Amino acid sequence: MAAIAGVQVGAFILCGACLFMVGFDWQAMGYVAPAIVGDLNIPNSALGPVFGAANVGFSIGAVLAGMLADKIGRRPVLIGATVWFAVATLFVAGAASVRDMLALRFLSGIGFGSVVPTVTALAGEYSSPQTRITTIMVMTTLGMNGGAMTGGLASAWLIPRFGWPAVFYVGGAAALCIGALMFLRLPESMPFLVLRTATADSRKGVPLGDLFREGRAAATTLLWILNFMNLLIVHLVASWLPTVVREAGYSISAAVLIATVFQIGGVIGTFTLAWLIGRRGLVPVLIVSLTVTCGAVALIGQPGLSAAALIAAVFVAGSCVIGSQIGINALAATFYPTSMRSSGVGWGLGIGRAGAIVGPVIGGELIRLQWPTNQIFLAAAMPAAISSMAMFSMRRALVRDG
């Protein structure tokens, strides 16, 4: 039993470290955006397609890797995806034009998208049913959001001293090291191995239609809506907040640090939501969290906010919207059985990435059209209201589908 526990702990640490580098490298573009705009002498809106390209790649990677991981295993897909996004991130550091960045961030996105559903399935399968939701939420928080938060702090220190490419050099090199450690030490999912042995490895993957059969249709549809709307908010705010704050008169370092508060809120908020979920249940807590998100995001853009009030609004928004997304991922990982867990999580994130693609592009377009900041963030708050209603409907869907 001690040996099994040791294997579980090792798997959790490696999965968390991988997610940490995904969070670091993914959010790096948002943190360095103001510096890139000045260095390349381009308008802010020119980076909108770059943000969107990463999300297109994420969507493709999440769907394909989810199905592949259900066929050949979690371990090889995860290691390959980590090396993929690490190498692509290193090349971003040498990009000399927006066109180069767009192509390289698309390739990076494929790697990011391949990692998240695979790690979520692997972590869920190394957890007991009683602790699965909490384990996934805590590991994802310490991983992705901890990485995004660290990326902000590192960017604020690296950019003034070494320039924006240094952020990508650090992130890519560290991710390569994590990939090497996983190759040496990461075990395959035991439930997956048992399932593959029981079925004589004859499965050909999980057809999309299976996610809608046997009473899963309503919950699958609502999970897709939730992923779309919530990821739209996350990436619109995370991508453009440093730029908007910079244009409000703050320095680049201050703008990056205020944007980092969004990720810090995500870390603290996820732990808080995990604690509340253990006592009140996942769906009721997420209904409240998504409703609060709506008000907090709208407040960010209100004119006349003091620095303290702006930081507080950003913190609450990050706590609720990022924490809710991790809860949505955990819900998918517990809803689908082992045979289709990676596919279910992957398709949800893949569809959701359409929202993540749309969000930054819409933000860039609204900035180009010179919308007032308050109107931009009021528009960003509307998807949170839709998410809250979808989560309310999820209560009946889970009862019916269960």
pLDDT in tens, 228-271: 999 898 888 887 788 778 777 778 778 878 888 887 888 888 88
Tell me the residue type at 303.
P
Nearest to 146 by CA among 20, 325, 320, 297: 20
pLDDT of residue 6: 64
**Distance (Å, rounded) from C-alpha 12 to C-alpha 389?**
33
Q: What percent of the chain has pLDDT over 90?
A: 26
Measured in degrees and rounded to the nearest 5, phi and psi for residue 131 equal -110, 5
Q: Does residue 367 contact residue 241 with C-beta atoms inside 8 Å?
A: no
Q: Rounded to whole angstroms, what are the CA distances from 243 to 36, 61, 314? A: 11, 28, 14
CB under 8 Å, gap of 24 or more: what pairs does 214-219 form? 215/400, 215/401, 215/402, 216/335, 216/336, 216/401, 217/401, 218/396, 218/397, 218/400, 218/401, 219/335, 219/394, 219/397, 219/398, 219/401
Nearest to 175 by CA among 18, 289, 396, 314: 18
Neighbours of 372 (CB within 10 A): 11
pLDDT of residue 168: 94
Q: Is residue 202 part of a domain?
A: no
Residue 225 clears pLDDT 90, i.e. is over it: yes
Q: Which of 136-140, 197-201, 311-315 has the lowest mean pLDDT?
A: 197-201
Rounded to 5°, the CA angle 230-333-210 comes to 100
pLDDT of residue 207: 67
Q: Which H or E run contains 201?
A: none
Tell me which of 81 and 398 has the higher pLDDT. 81
Q: Is residue 170 part of a domain?
A: yes
**Distance (Å, rounded) from C-alpha 215 to C-alpha 127?**
25
Mean pLDDT value across residues 176-199: 81
Q: Rounded to whole angstroms, what are the CA distances from 157 to 163, 164, 325, 363? A: 10, 10, 29, 27
Per the structure, the count of domains in the chain is: 1
pLDDT of residue 199: 56
Q: Is residue 203 part of a domain?
A: no
Tens of pLDDT, residues 153-181: 898 899 989 999 999 999 999 999 999 99
Identify the domain containing residue 156 by its residue range. 2-196+209-401
pLDDT of residue 117: 86
Tell me the residue type at 299.
L
Q: Is residue 142 part of a domain?
A: yes
Q: Which H or E run contains 148?
A: helix 146-162
Average pLDDT, the chain: 84
Q: Is residue 204 part of a domain?
A: no
Tell me which of 352 and 222 has the higher pLDDT. 222
Return the CATH number at 72. Answer: 1.20.1250.20
Q: Which two tokens stand for residue 37?
A: 């705009």
Residue 273 clears pLDDT 70, i.e. is over it: yes
Tens of pLDDT, residues 1-51: 444 466 677 888 899 999 999 999 888 888 888 888 888 888 877 887 887
Q: Is residue 166 part of a domain?
A: yes
Is the torsion defined by CA of 283, 121, 170, 234 positive or negative?
negative
